Structure 1
Amino acid sequence: MKLLRFSTADGPTLGARRGDEVIDLRLAAPDLPRDMNALLALGAAGLQAVQRAVEKAPAVAVRPVDGLEWLVPVPAPEKIICIGMNYAEHIKEAPTPHEIPKYPVVFLRQAGSLVAHNEALRRPLCSDQFDFEGELVCVIGRRGRHIAMADALSHVAAYSLFNDASIRDYQFKSPQWTVGKNFDATGAFGPELVTADELPEGARGLRLRTVLNGHTVQDASTSDMIFDIATQISLMSEAMTLMPGDLIVTGTPSGVGLGRKPPLWMKHGDLCTVSVEGVGSLSNPIRDEGAAA
C-alpha cells in the first residue's frame, strides 16, 4: 500500500495510491485519523481500514495522480534520525580518512528542513557547496524501547525516499554536523510511504540511484549498508523511545559531490532525483534561496 499527503482546496489531506489514482481518505474514510502519525499508530488495523476504503471509494474521493500537489508524507515526526557513513565505499571518499565504524554515526534533522516531492531544494545564499545524498527512509509504525534485533522490523510501518542535501562547508565547520544538515528546505522527503509488506524484509537488495540532470551520480544496493535497518532500529532504541512516524534516514552510498574531483555541487536550475527499486522516485528542482519557485 502507498500512503501520502497532498494539498486540496480544503487543506492538507491523507491519500492512498491506487495505480494512477489517489483516494482522498478524508472523503473515503472520514472516521480515520487525518494525521499520518496517528494513522500509522493504528498499526495493521489502520492499514486494513485504509484498504477497505480504497476498495469501496466513491467517485468523489478519486482523483488522478497527475497534477497532485504533494506534501511531505509525515510533516511532524517526533524524531528524524540520520545515519552517516553507512556504506563502505562512501567512507572511502570522505575528505579525511575514516575507519569502518563499529557504531553508527548519528545526527538529527529538524522538521523545518523538509520539502516535498517536486518542491524546490534551496541552495543557501551563504554557500555554493550544496551536495546531494540519496537515501532510503525507514518509517516507524510501532512504539518501542530496547527493541531486540529479532523484533526490530516489526516496528517498521513503511519506507520512503530522502535527499539529505548537505551544505558541506558548514557541515565541517565543527566536529558536529548539525548546522550543515539543517538549513531550511534542504531535506527532500517523499513522495509517499510504501508499506513494509510490499518490499523485501528489511528493504534489502534494492537498487538505490541518484540522478542529477539526467546523469547517474550514485548507484548502489541497500544490501551494501554497514548497519542494516534492523540493527539501526535496535541500537537507536537503546537510547530513545521510537514513536510512530519517526524517521530513520539510513545513509547514503558513494558518489556524492564532495568526493569527486573536482567537487560536483547542485546549483540553481538543476534537477535531482532519488529512486529506490519498489519505493519510487523523489524529484526536486534546485533553486537559490530567495529565487522564485
Structure 2
Amino acid sequence: MTDRPRFAAFSHQGTLKYGLAKGEGIIDLSKRHGERWPSLREVIAAGALARLAEEASSLPPDYALSDITFEIPIPAPEKLICVGVNFPDRNEEYKDGQAAPANPSLFIRFPRSFTGHGRPLIRPPESPQLDYEGEIVIVIGKGGRRIAEAEALGHIAALSLCNEGTIRDWVRHAKFNVTQGKNFDRTGSIGPWLVPYTDSAQLADIELTTRVNGELRQQDRTSRMIFSFSRIIAYISTFTTLVPGDVIVTGTPTGAGARFDPPIWLKPGDVVEVSAQGIGTLTNTIADEA
C-alpha cells in the first residue's frame, strides 16, 4: 500500500463522516473537526490534510474498516472532469490512422454516477454493456485560472483511484457526445483513499492496473500518458477556474471489456480491482439495479 496518510469519506450508522485510516481501523476526524470543516473538500480548501494527519497520528481508531461504508472522497465537488484517450495504446484502439491528439478530450461526470469502495457498481436495465476503466484521480487543492504547466503540480492536494464505469452503447446514443453513457447512477467508483500529494516523484512513473475476477485486464504506467498531469491541469484551467476539491479523472489504459472480440461486459458477481502504486486498491463488485 503506502506509508502516506490515507483519508477516507465514509458513513457509519447512516451518518456521513471522514477520517484517517490506521491499520484496519479509521479515526473519526469529522467528530473532532466537522463543525469547522464539514467534509474533506473543506479540509482540502483549508490546506489542512497534513495538519490533521499529524494531529491524529497518536489517536486510536474509532471504528473498524469492516464497520464503515466507504463514500466517494469528495462528496460534492464543484467540477468532476474526466480525460479520455490518454495512453498511446488506447489511442490506437480507434484504428482511425490518426496520431495522438494535440489536446485532451474531456467530458463531465456527475457525483451521483459514482459510488464508494467496496460497494457494487450498478448495471442498469437499459443495457448490459457495463464496462470498466481504471484511472488515477487528482484532486485540486489550490485553485486558479490559466495555471502555468510548470506550476500545475503544486495545485494538487491529493490522489485517489477511479473505476470510470461506462455503459458502452449509450456513449454513442447521439451524433457527438458521451454524456449519457458516462452518467448512469452508480456505474463508476472513486476511492478508497485520498492520499496527500507531496512531490512529482509520486506521480512520475507509477503502475496502474485493473483486474476483473483476478485476471489482469489493464496495465500501464503514468510515464506513458499522452497528456501529463501538469498538462491536464494547465489545459483545463485555460477555460475554467479550478477550485479546491475539483476532481480530475486522468484517463485509462487499453484493455477495457469493449476491446475484446467478442466484448466482455461486467456482470453481477464480478469483482473489479483498480490499483496504483502508492495510492492503493479500489475494489467493487457488480450488481443489477433493483
TM-score (norm 2): 0.93
Tell me the residue number matched to 1:263.
263
Residue 200 of structure 1 and its aligned partner are, at CA, apart by 4.5
Quote the Cα distance in structure 2 between the aligned partners of 1:115 and 1:153. 27
Residues 220 and 253 in structure 1, CA contact (< 8 A), matched pair in contact too: yes
Task: Name the counterpart of 1:21.
Answer: 25
Name the residue aligned to 1:284: 284
Normalising by the residue count of structure 1, what TM-score does the alignment of the two structures yield? 0.92
Q: What SS does structure 1 have at the residue aligned with 2:67? A: coil
> Residue 115 of structure 2 aligns with which residue?
115
The answer for the alignment partner of 1:51 in structure 2 is: 53
Q: Deviations over 1:51-77 (max 9, x none)?
A: 2431343x4x53332333111111111
Q: Matched residues in 2 for 1:192 and 1:185: separation?
A: 18
Q: Percent identity?
A: 38
Q: Distance in 2 between matches of 1:257 and 1:31?
A: 44
| 1:202, distance to aligned residue in structure 2 (A) | 6.0
1:153·1:202 contact (CA, 8 Å) conserved in 2? no
List per-residue Cα deviations over 1:221-240 (Å, max 9, x = no partner). 11111001000000000000
CA RMSD of aligned residues (A): 1.7
Q: Which residue of 1 aligns with 2:89?
A: 89
Q: Secondary structure at the match of 1:15?
A: strand
2:13 aligned to which of 4, 9, 13: 9
Change in 2 beyond 3 A, CA 1:281/1:91: same
Note the alpha carbon deviations across 1:237-285, whole angstroms, 9 max, x for none.
0000111111110000000111111111111111111111110011111
Equivalent pairs counted in the alignment come to: 285
SS of the residue aligned with 2:42?
helix
**1:98, CA displacement in angstroms?**
4.4
Q: Distance in 1 between the 2:32 and 2:85 partners? A: 43
**Which stretches of structure 1, 4 residues or more, deviate above 6 A after TM superposition?**
none
Per the TM alignment, residue 21 of structure 1 is displaced from its structure 2 partner at its CA by: 2.8
Return the letter of the residue paired with 1:177. Answer: V
User: Structure 2: how far apart are the matches of 1:109 and 1:98?
Assistant: 27
1:35 corresponds to which residue? 39
Matched, 1:125 2:129: no
Task: Give the aligned partner of residue 196 of structure 1.
Answer: 197
Q: Mind listing any 5+ residue stretches in structure 2 that lack a counterpart?
A: none
Deviation of 1:95 (Å): 6.7
Provide the secondary structure at the position in 2 that maps to 1:66: helix
Give the 3-state SS of the residue equivalent to 2:143 in structure 1: coil
Separation in 2 of the partners of 1:136 and 1:19? 23
In the alignment, structure 1 segments of 5+ residues that lack a partner are none
Alignment partner, residue 224 of structure 2: 224
Residues 100/32 of structure 1: CA separation in 2 closer, same or farther (3 Å cut)? same
Q: What letter is aligned with 2:84?
A: G
Matched-pair contact (CA < 8 Å) for 1:28–1:54: no
1:30 offset after TM fit, Å?
Answer: 5.5
Q: In the superposition, relative to structure 1, how do residues 136 and 127 fare at CA in structure 2: closer, same or farther (>3 Å)? A: same
Counterpart-to-counterpart distance in 2, 1:28 and 1:19: 20
CA deviations on 1:74-122 (whole Å, 9 max, x unpaired) are: 1111111100010110112237554311100011101111100011111
